[in-house]
Chain A
Amino acid sequence: MNDTTPTADERAARLEGVGCKRKRVEDIRFVQGKGNYVDDLKLPGMLYGDFVRSPYGHARIKSINAQRATALPGVIAVLTAADLKPLSLHYMPTLAGDVQAVLAEDKVLFQNQEVAFVIAADRYVAADAVELIEVEYEALPVSVDPFKAMASDAPLLREDLKDKTEGAHGARKHHNHIFTWEIGDKGGTDAAFDNAEVTIKELISYQRVHPCPLETCQCVASFDKIRGELTVWGTFQAPHVIRTVASLISKIPEHKIHVIAPDIGGGFGNKVGAYPGYICAVVASIVTGHPVKWVEDRIENLSTTAFARDYHMTAEIAATRDGRVSGLRVHVIADHGAFDACADPTKWPAGFFNIVTGSYDFPVAHVSVDGIYSNKAPGGVAYRCSFRVTEAAYCIERAMDILAQKLGIDPVELRTKNLIRREQFPYMSALGWEYDSGDYHTALTKAIEAVGYRELRTEQKVRQEAFKRGETRELMGIGVSFFTEIVGAGPSRNCDILGIAMFDSAEIRIHPTGAVIARLGTKSQGQGHETTYAQIIATELGLSADNITVEEGNTDTAPYGLGTYGSRSTPVSGAATAMAARKIKAKAQMIAAHLLEVHDDDLEWDVDRFRVKGNPERFKTMTELAWAAYHGVPPGMEPGLEAVSYYDPPNMTYPFGAYVCVVDVDVDTGVVRVRRFYALDDCGTRINPMIIEGQIHGGLTEAFGIAMGQEIRYDEVGNVTGPSFMDYFLPTAVETPKWETDFTTTPSPHHPIGAKGIGESPNVGGVPCFANAVNDAFKFLGSTHIAMPHDNWRTWMVADRLGLHP
């Protein structure tokens, strides 16, 4: 070797592999306005669909008169349930084992429910026609309070299920009841409470919110009558599942359906499910023989597709007087809306809510969840969170603070005392999850030292004294959260969607020059998959990331996968990527052995090449081996260099983190100012630190929105109030705090490269941290729990209730 030979470190750096703050490949097109989103698509002869929606929360449909609309020039057709019924398409199956009306048949069950679908030559004409359709309703009593849904006199919502005493998840005990889901040791938990020195109990409600990506849900359906083939371009986080569901519903063979998810303008869970708009666009294309585009407007988006939360959790903790937790009991009323269309793995009607023991060593726990129907929009669960994990984190993190308050000890001290210890991993939780890895105490210690926690508490004490003396009208709150997520669904033994195991996939093809194309079953909505998957391949195969193209979203070319949600892309498809790369590497090693005339055991890997052990001058680079794969393979070996991996993860992954938030609250205006927010995340192996930090910034901002203002609220007659940007709180750059990020790295032993996933952590940990900070500000005045969202008006009301106003 001479001085100009690059060192191993230099060669590794050139690959831009795992650990590199690689600039994003996607940005080149996005910064020039050359992204390709669904609404950008323009096909010859394309028509536009638009919905007539119910103004009532619950009403019988007496008649629909579309005559004036169909007479309008440019209107092609109007579809109603009567048109869909002969095709058995007026209802569609949901992911939760229920059905959902595509177009309302006899009655509507929530405001803005789909009643008729107009097809017109242009979107303005379609909107005109919607106004011309006359629907006569007879209003019915509504049920919007989840606590009254199962009262004996509660109105019957689902007439189609009236006599069914069994649902998809067991017995139904009331006409508005969907399921009861129960887990844990009830007897043991009851005993822990009977013997407890101290207990707390609190109703902790997580309001209904909406993920609200900046691009709404939309699709273009195009049915080719000659070929009998259907192509659907859509905002799909899970394109392969959409294709399978489309085939099952339409009876069009699956190979004749082409589902394509182009660039997606944010998802956050909103774009997992199947919605009436997709079905109607498909039917409309079949009926008219033209491509049909359907694009939700913002009000439709916020009021009909995929709410999140609406979880009402009564949490109890049993503990010793010195602050050791001995039992956890939670009962939940879960408001699922008019149809149970929650996007959970099929066997988990409450998602992974049983992660509710959090980061703490609870010896015993019991959880039960009652799902109920209401006159609210269906769908959802997700909002940047893996299947009810954020509800669980909010519940336990609030409950731990309430316990600390009752015991009169510091919230950090209580957490430190009860966190699962490093030597306990892999840790089996009381509710049956095996946590892969963690070093919780190190993370919490790093966080409290970074923010100067003790000094903050001293400052708070001084402030409280001054407040009592009337010298200031500002309170100070310090919020701490320590969260553990469960992501990467999931192992086929416990995770499936409609019977399809929740594996995911990667296919890697090395071209003769060493350039690569990789295709995956997931679908980026802004996470930067085109950049990060290439980094995994670069490190695994020693090929420069710049020469690797990553493709997702085309069901014809990508291997089958379950899609991107629940932070599953890195844990599952990222693992599949590494596994497929390793298959390629194994073949390359045999080719190298053949070319170097040694046994393959005599070779060792060195960044981007195989070299002969003890003789590093003799090597073959991966680029050379790629070329050789197409002309110089050993006798008996097939040429070519490609592999596919369908990865069934052995376990979920468990990212964790410690967050601290400091707020100042003006008791006279209710304004809560976030002075500081520090987030320490441990997502295992870090693939691209720049992208990780970006995910944390974004997730914290969404958490800030939820905790401080977002709510999809219904009034007593079933009107959804404020489903537009006039009212729904999306933080602007002005309100959004400045974020401080930090990390520890505890690789997962159950993932080929040790990565755990990051996208949802900041939402899961952020929401309780903001809430704990606001609660902490008022705690010394005797307040135990203040419900979210902590907007100025509600905060002012809290101050008022506490008698702080003259």
Chain B
Amino acid sequence: MAEVEVTLKVNGKTVEAKVEPRLLLVHFLREHLSLTGTHIGCDTTHCGACTVDLDGKSVKSCTVFAVQANGAEVLTIEGMAAPDGALHALQHAFRETHALQCGFCTPGMIVRASRLLKENNNPTEEEIRFGISGNLCRCTGYQNIVTAILHAAAALRDTPYQEAAE
């Protein structure tokens, strides 16, 4: 199949490659760029394990062709920590509140949550639950993920986290 040239920015670095037009972005990231933190959990765009940030929007990279990302900026889990290695507030909060178990949904969940917090820096529990409903988790029952996002939101706002009143 004829290959097409693409140029995109992944985690701040410019990447140029020749790809088949049918190559999915998730395979481009995982297999061409060896960014294996983005996972694949289904064939139907439901599970969200492959969620990345594409030009400021959460997308499921199993349903985007690499050629569609030509010229775009992509952020994956590998680009979440600071250049000096310091963890993002969400990465820190996920560990602190036991918001992961097998770790398979975690990268997609964290990348999705980071976009959610950029759109709404002080979400309610209900807004978080709705906001991550495109990302499935089989291990945690979501409760600690919601807590982690609330903690991270507070940390990013630089306000101490307070348990919501019952």
Contact = CB atoms under 8 A, between A and B. Distances in A.
A42 B20 contact: no
Interface string B18-31: 00101100010011
B81 A32 contact: yes
Interface in A695-738: 695, 697-702, 724-726, 730, 732-734, 736, 738
B146 interface: yes
B133 A734 contact: yes
B104 A215 contact: yes
A528 interface: yes
A738 B166 CA distance: 12
A734 B127 CA distance: 9
Contact of B141 (A42, A528, A700): A700
A750 interface: no
B101 A698 contact: yes
Contact of B36 (A33, A264, A724, A734): A33
Interface string B36-68: 111111111011010000000000000000000
Interface string B134-152: 1111111111111000000
B77 interface: yes
Given A26-B103, A526-B103, A739-B141, A726 B44 contact: yes
A690 B148 CA distance: 14
B39 A265 contact: yes
Nearest to A694: B98
B102 A215 contact: yes
Interface string A295-307: 0011100000000
A724 B45 CA distance: 11
Interface residues of B, number: 59
B141 A725 contact: no
A697 B101 CA distance: 11
Contact of A268 (B30, B138, B146): B138
A226 interface: no
A733 B135 CA distance: 8
Contacts of B46: 725-726, 730
Contacts of B16: none
A738 B101 contact: no
Interface in A33-49: 33-35, 37, 39-40, 42
B15 to A, nearest CB: 17
B128 interface: yes
A280 B143 CA distance: 40
Contacts of A263: 102-103
Nearest to A528: B101
B139 A31 contact: no
A299 B41 CA distance: 11
A215 B136 CA distance: 11
A526 B141 CA distance: 13
A527 interface: yes
Interface string B96-114: 1010111111110010000
A739 B139 contact: no
Q: Indicate the member of A27, A268, A527, A738 with the most B CB atoms within 10 Å.
A: A27
A256 to B, nearest CB: 29
B73 to A, nearest CB: 18
Contact of A37 (B98, B104, B128): B104
Contact of B44 (A24, A28, A214, A724): A724
Contact of B139 (A28, A297, A698, A738): A698
Nearest to A300: B43
Interface string A456-478: 00000000000000000000000
A85 B96 CA distance: 54
A24 B78 contact: no
Given A33-B78, A213-B102, A527-B101, A266 B139 contact: yes
Nearest to A33: B37
A702 B138 contact: yes
A776 B4 CA distance: 61
A297 B24 CA distance: 15
Contacts of B98: 23-24, 690-691, 693-694
B106 A31 contact: yes
Contacts of A525: 102
A793 interface: no
A484 to B, nearest CB: 23
A27 B146 contact: no
Contacts of A28: 95
A726 B43 CA distance: 10
A30 B103 contact: yes
B94 A27 contact: yes
B34 interface: yes
B138 A33 contact: no
A733 B129 contact: yes
Interface string A737-751: 011000000000000
Nearest to B103: A30
B44 A27 contact: no
A213 B102 CA distance: 9
B35 to A, nearest CB: 7
A227 B145 CA distance: 47
Interface in A1-40: 23-24, 26-35, 37, 39-40
Contacts of B38: 33
Contacts of A24: 95, 98, 100
Contacts of B138: 212-214, 266, 268, 698, 701-702, 730
B104 to A, nearest CB: 3
A124 interface: yes
B102 A214 contact: yes
A702 B139 CA distance: 8
Nearest to B149: A733
Nearest to B20: A124
B47 to A, nearest CB: 6
A37 B141 contact: no
A450 to B, nearest CB: 15
B141 A697 contact: yes
Nearest to B1: A124
B104 A214 contact: yes
A38 to B, nearest CB: 11
B141 A299 contact: no
A694 B144 contact: yes
Given A32-B81, A701-B141, A726-B46, A694 B95 contact: no
A28 B86 CA distance: 11
A31 B91 contact: yes
Contact of B142 (A27, A527, A691, A701): A701
A725 B47 contact: yes
A736 B42 contact: no
A214 B144 contact: no
Contacts of B76: 33
Interface of B: 20, 22-23, 27, 30-31, 34-44, 46-47, 49, 76-78, 80-81, 87, 91-92, 94-96, 98, 100-107, 110, 128-130, 132-146
25 contacts: A24-B100, A30-B103, A32-B87, A33-B76, A33-B80, A42-B31, A212-B138, A213-B102, A214-B41, A214-B47, A263-B102, A263-B103, A266-B102, A266-B139, A298-B42, A526-B104, A693-B98, A695-B101, A697-B144, A701-B141, A725-B136, A730-B136, A733-B145, A734-B130, A739-B141
Closest 4 CB pairs of A and B: A33-B37, A526-B102, A265-B104, A30-B103
Interface of A: 23-24, 26-35, 37, 39-40, 42, 123-124, 212-216, 263-266, 268, 297-299, 525-528, 690-691, 693-695, 697-702, 724-726, 730, 732-734, 736, 738-739
Given A724-B43, A730-B46, 12 more contacts: A31-B92, A32-B91, A33-B37, A35-B37, A42-B34, A214-B104, A265-B104, A298-B42, A526-B104, A697-B142, A724-B44, A725-B47
